[in-house]
Amino acid sequence: MNFLRGVMGGQSAGPQHTETETIQKLCDRVASSTLLDDRRNAVRALKSLSKKYRLEVGIQAMEHLIHVLQTDRSDSEIIAYALDTLYNIISNDEEEELEENSTRQSEDLGSQFTEIFIKQPENVTLLLSLLEEFDFHVRWPGVRLLTSLLKQLGPPVQQIILVSPMGVSRLMDLLADSREIIRNDGVLLLQALTRSNGAIQKIVAFENAFERLLDIITEEGNSDGGIVVEDCLILLQNLLKNNNSNQNFFKEGSYIQRMKPWFEVGEENSGWSAQKVTNLHLMLQLVRVLVSPTNPPGATSSCQKAMFQCGLLQQLCTILMATGIPADILTETINTVSEVIRGCQVNQDYFASVNAPSNPPRPAIVVLLMSMVNERQPFVLRCAVLYCFQCFLYKNEKGQGEIVATLLPSTIDATGNSVSAGQLLCGGLFSTDSLSNWCAAVALAHALQGNATQKEQLLRVQLATSIGNPPVSLLQQCTNILSQGDKIDRRGSKIQTRVGLLMLLCTWLSNCPIAVTHFLHNSANVPFLTGQIAENLGEEEQLVQGLCALLLGISIYFNDNSLENYTKEKLKQLIEKRIGKENFIEKLGFISKHELYSRASQKPQPNFPSPEYMIFDHEFTKLVKELEGVITKAIYKSSEEDKKEEEVKKTLEQHDNIVTHYKNMIREQDLQLEELKQQVSTLKCQNEQLQTAVTQQASQIQQHKDQYNLLKVQLGKDNHHQGSHGDGAQVNGIQPEEISRLREEIEELKSHQALLQSQLAEKDSLIETLKSSQASGMSEQASATCPPRDPEQVAELKQELTALKSQLCSQSLEITRLQTENCELLQRAETLAKSVPVEGESEHVSTAKTTDVEGRLSALLQETKELKNEIKALSEERTAIQKQLDSSNSTIAILQTEKDKLDLEVTDSKKEQDDLLVLLADQDQKILSLKSKLKDLGHPVEEEDESGDQEDDDDEIDDGDKDQDI
């Protein structure tokens, strides 16, 4: 404590010495008194002195006060006095500090006493345990003291609380306290606790903080609430900002839906209180935290969709179009809507359908663009509208097409009753306000960003400049404004207008050879650019020179050599003669070296402190990074290298087309394989069903065999008995039994016949299924342009078809055998009927019975014949199926042969590509070796490669040198 004693020693003696002695005596009483009342009175006295004599009380009494917290926890009054005293020592009461020096000294004292207090981590743990006390006089001072510690030295105190068991959970209980002052101060405590600490933020979020904070906001009246709502919103921002885990938890917990009532504003929006403005501003910022462009794309997209589904976006658009909204809230609402719709097609489509409540209704986009090109509107509002328009067009080809379509002649409203977005952009592009020029140029550039189709469509736009003169294209008008503004007065010309037009032209011409051809078709454009780049101008004009160099480089790199006077080679020769390659590359580098370039490349939102800083657009900085390197390489390349590169590009494009073709073939093969697999699985199921049917038939045949053998034995016994005993009574006694057996046999045959008929029906359905599948397979094979990709899968399919064929053959054999055995059984029955003797005394009765048996046998024979016919038809259908299987096998063989041919063609093309690459590598190596030899001989290689205008003596020297090299 030497530094504290030094501070105290610098003060005046006299009365101070008396107070020091008093504080020392009180500390002695706290430390040595055995009576609780004496210690309580001493601590109360220290509390009364702690505000005025903060340094002395802190130096002498802090250790004793901590000891009181440890030993006298049973008495809440003395604990409350001790906590209040420590709070007075550590906290910085700014209201009582009047002078700047005293304020700084107070802040130093607070941090120094905090450092002394937390030097023993047990002190913070002790304070956390005291917060569990429900007594108001203990809990509330404890919350205030811990909040002050976190404000003074946040990170070390956070670390102590983080490692303390249940430390964060104890603090979360404060939000559930029924006493509002403790709950509100608990919110302030959690604000300081969660600041810049991701681990604590996650713990607080999973301790159900979102639910409790949203409940508090609802209880306090949402945006109409007081300072408590503001504190809760700040705490929510601490938990969600730059914390992807908490953002995902907030979305999955369906808490986004609970934000919708925050933005329900009434029809009368006049007379908003300052607190309501602050609350709504924080609520809008909280929405932006969830959909910030810096968040992971997946998390942002899911939050955007949730906001649309719950109606939050619709509520924000209602505020956007409402009247009487304060200017700062309207600006922040525009920025919030911008990020909610950015890159989300569903939200962008909804925003395009929003109309302003005017008569007649106008689209919200048109109303916003009217504010952007109006120079009387606040600068911040105009920047917000530009950001909204950019977010609406971000990755939205449909929206880009709709904006460009409003400029085309076929879609312009001839009556002039309504103003379109394209007309507003053109009006702002050619107005006298430089800020409107820049905003309109950037907005129009975003309508072309990454969309080659709309770049070509915009070439059709014609503008009527004056009465009696022919219309001029939009591209030509932009270049005319650039050249005329430069000729009139360079000093008076507005740099913002020229920069905006150049950024628009660079975006327009990049990746669009047709637009480059239109630009070069005007013979005045190239001389204007070269003249701008070649001049030595001041620092203010260096940025324009860099943009002109970029535009000329784009005209070279994306040139398709369709104009003879402005081919790539001729433009590079022009740069070499009039500017110089090194000077051109230096001027091109002025863009990325500008002080405002890096600022614009950080965030998509155009956030400028004043109009003078509005120079670069975020998306344009990406374009510069992409093109600066390739343009530099294109400038230094020779014509031969360009030709070789074009040939390589064409070859690669051809190979890419081949690869794409084979990819499509592979996709078709995959589909075919899936269909064939499904057919095979279906056939397997049918095969299993047929196998079960065959097994049942075999068991039934075995039963018939057993019955036949039994009948045969019985017939043998009857014949032997009739030969030894010829009386008619015994014959008449045996014959009814035999007839009954025959009846049973007939019934069994009928049941068996019914079973065979059901099996025939199942086989008929199977044959129909096979026919349909075979027909579909044949049609697909006939329409396919390529064979199956995997030969192993084709072989497996062949094996499965062969197995199916063998199974069908075995089934036909079983049916034939069943038919034969049925015939044998019928013959046995007929023989039995004929072998029964008939005597005279029972001749009439036996004749009637025999007639009945013969009738039954004839019916059975008729049914057997029908069964034979059905079996014959089944065998014919089986033969047809076999033929179809043979044809499918031949088709598979043909397809396999075609696949082998295609594989050979692919192998040959790969070999040709490898040979071409080897030749290109050898050629590059030879060129490098020749250049190195020329350099060794002291000749500048670049001048010889590109100019070719040297004198005769130099040619002779070069020829001699080359002969020596050879």
Are the beta carbons of 76 and 136 closer than 8 angstroms?
no
3-state secondary structure of 356: strand
DSSP code for 462: E
Are the C-beta atoms of 888 and 895 separated by less than 8 Å? no
Dist. CA 314–CA 282, nearest whole Å: 19
Residues 632 and 654 in one domain: no
For residue 725, what are the contacts with CB-CB under 8 A and spacing of at least 6? Answer: none
Least confident of 112-116, 465-469, 521-525, 632-636: 465-469
Is the same domain home to 629 and 655? Answer: no
Instruction: In whole angstroms, give the CA distance from residue 148 to residue 322.
Output: 43
Full-model pTM = 0.65
Q: In 784-842, where does DSSP find H-type helix?
A: 791-835
Report residue 637: phi and psi, to 5°: -80, 145
* pLDDT band (50, 70, 90) for residue 650: low
Amino acid at 424: L
Higher-confidence residue of 785 and 642: namely 642
Give me the torsion for CA of 63, 69, 70, 76, rounded to 10°. Answer: 160
Same domain flag for 573 and 461: yes
Taking the C-alpha atoms of residue 228 and residue 184, their distance in angstroms, rounded to an integer, is: 7
- Say if residue 673 is in the same domain as residue 630: no
Q: Which residue has the higher pLDDT, 856 or 434?
A: 434
Residue 207 lies in a domain: no
Chain centroid to CA 667: 25
pLDDT of residue 328: 92
The percent of residues in the chain predicted with pLDDT above 70, rounded, is 75
What is the rounded distance in angstroms from the CA atom of residue 764 to the CA atom of residue 693?
14
CA-CA distance, 212 to 172, in Å (whole number)? Answer: 10
Give how far Cα 835 sits from Cα of 367, 652, 824, Å. Answer: 112, 94, 16
Q: Is residue 575 domain-resident?
A: yes
Do 352 and 438 lie in one domain? The reply is no
For residues 619 and 658, membership in a common domain is answered with no
- The arithmetic mean of pLDDT across residues 753-760, rounded, is 70
Q: Which residues contact 669 (CB under 8 A, 6 or more apart)?
A: 784, 786, 787, 788, 789
pLDDT digits (tens, 9 = 90+) for 442-496: 999 999 999 999 999 999 998 877 776 788 899 999 998 888 765 444 433 478 9
Same domain as 509, residue 478:
yes
For range 589-601, the mean pLDDT? 91
Write out 856-906 in H/E/C secondary structure: HHHHHHHHHHHHHHHHHHHHHHHHHHHHHHHHHHHHHHHHHHHHHHHHHHH
Lowest mean pLDDT among 149-163, 472-486, 513-527, 848-862: 848-862
- What was the pLDDT predicted at 923? 83
CB 286 within 8 A of CB 237: yes
Task: Evaluate whether 57 touches 89 at the Cβ level (below 8 Å).
Answer: yes
Dihedral sign for Cα 709, 715, 719, 720, please.
positive
If you average pLDDT over residues 406-411, what whole number do you get?
78
Given a cut of 80, is residue 418 above it in pLDDT? no
* Residue 476 belongs to a domain: yes
For the segment 115-141, the average pLDDT, to the nearest whole number, is 93
End-to-end CA distance of the chain: 87
- Report whether pLDDT(802) > 80: no
Q: Which of 718, 744, 742 is nearest to 731 (CA)?
A: 718
Residue 482 CA to residue 510 CA, distance in Å, equals 19
* Confidence at residue 731, expressed as pLDDT on a 0 to 100 scale: 38
Q: What is the pLDDT of residues 49-99, one digit of tens each?
A: 998 899 999 999 999 999 999 999 889 999 999 999 999 999 886 444 444
Asked if residue 371 is part of any domain, the answer here is yes
Give alpha helix (H) positions in 725-787.
Answer: 728-783
User: Containing domain of residue 585, as a range?
Assistant: 401-409+419-637
Query: CB–CB of 276/224 below 8 Å?
Result: yes
Cis-peptide into 787, omega within 30 deg: no
In a domain, 116, yes or no: no
769 in any annotated domain: no
Q: What would the two tokens of residue 789 be?
A: 């990709």
Once rounded to an integer, what is the mean pLDDT over residues 712-716? 78
Q: Are residues 318 and 445 in the same domain?
A: no
In this structure, the number of other CB atoms found within 10 A of the CB of residue 630 comes to 13
Long-range contacts (CB closer than 8 Å, 24 or more residues apart) made by 174-177: 174/131, 174/143, 175/209, 175/212, 175/213, 175/216, 176/212, 177/139
The first and second tokens of residue 912, run together, are 């040709």
> Does 76 map to a domain?
no
Angle of CA points 538, 540, 544, to nearest 5°: 100
In a domain, 585, yes or no: yes
Mean pLDDT of the chain: 81
Q: Which of 233-242, 271-280, 627-636, 855-864 has the lowest mean pLDDT?
A: 855-864
Residue 149's pLDDT is: 94
Task: Give the tens place of pLDDT for each residue, 772-787.
Answer: 654 454 444 434 434 4
Question: How many CB atoms are closer than 10 A to CB 204?
Answer: 25
- Asked whether residue 20 carries a pLDDT value surpassing 80, the answer given is yes
Residue 521 sits in the same domain as residue 579: yes
Give the pLDDT score at 471.
86
Same domain as 378, residue 424: no
Three-state DSSP state, 363: strand
Pair 79, 69: CB distance under 8 Å: yes
In this predicted structure, the answer to whether residue 944 has a pLDDT above a threshold of 50 is no
Q: Does residue 409 carry a pLDDT above 80?
A: no
> Is the separation of the CB atoms in 189 and 146 below 8 Å?
yes
pLDDT at 318 over 70: yes
Domain containing 515 — which CATH number? 1.25.10.10
Residue 221 in this model has a pLDDT that exceeds 80: yes
Helix (H) or strand (E) holding 4: helix 2-9
Give the per-residue pLDDT at 163.
92
> 427 and 452: one domain?
yes
Residue in the block written with tokens 């015994």: 730
User: Are β-strands 362-363 and 472-473 bridged in parallel, bridged antiparallel, or unpaired?
Assistant: unpaired
Residue 254 reports pLDDT greater than 60: yes
Measured CA to CA, the distance from residue 875 to residue 819 in angstroms comes to 13
**Residue 830, Cβ density class (10 Å: 0-12 exposed, 13-18 middle, ≥19 buried):** middle
Minimum mean pLDDT range among 95-99, 383-387, 608-612: 95-99
Dump pLDDT digits (tens) for 865-923.
777 777 777 777 777 777 777 776 777 778 788 788 888 888 888 888 888 888 888 88
pLDDT of res. 370: 94
Q: How many domains does the chain have?
A: 3
pLDDT at 232 over 90: yes
- Please give the Cα distance from 264 to 267 (Å, whole number): 10
User: By mean pLDDT, which of 46-55, 562-571, 794-803, 827-836 is the weakest?
Assistant: 827-836
**Closest C-alpha to 463, from 477, 446, 481, 447:** 477
Question: Who has greater pLDDT, 810 or 389?
Answer: 389
Q: What is the pLDDT of residue 229?
A: 96
Which of 96, 16, 97, 93 has the alpha carbon at shortest distance from 57?
A: 16
Region 22-30: mean pLDDT is 92
Do residues 483 and 524 touch, judged by C-beta distance below 8 A?
A: yes
Task: State the sign of the Cα–Cα–Cα–Cα dihedral 947, 950, 952, 957.
Answer: negative
Q: Does residue 542 carry a pLDDT above 80?
A: yes
pLDDT at 491: 39
Q: Flag whether pLDDT at 3 surpasses 50.
A: no
Residues 381 and 462 in one domain: no
Task: Choose one of 654, 677, 700: the last residue of a domain.
Answer: 677
Q: Are 336 and 287 in contact (CB under 8 A)?
A: yes
- How far is Cα 386 from Cα 679, in angstroms, rounded to an integer? 59
Buried b (16+ CB within 10 A) or exposed e, 663-702: eebeebbeebbeebeebbeebeebbeebeebbeebeebbe
**Residue where one domain finishes, among candidates 637, 661, 686:** 637
DSSP code of 355?
A: E
pLDDT at 854: 62
Cα dist from 714 to 139, 335, 527, 720, 722, whole Å: 109, 105, 123, 10, 13
> Strand, helix or coil at 463?
strand
pLDDT band at 667 (very low <50, low <70, confident <90, very high): confident
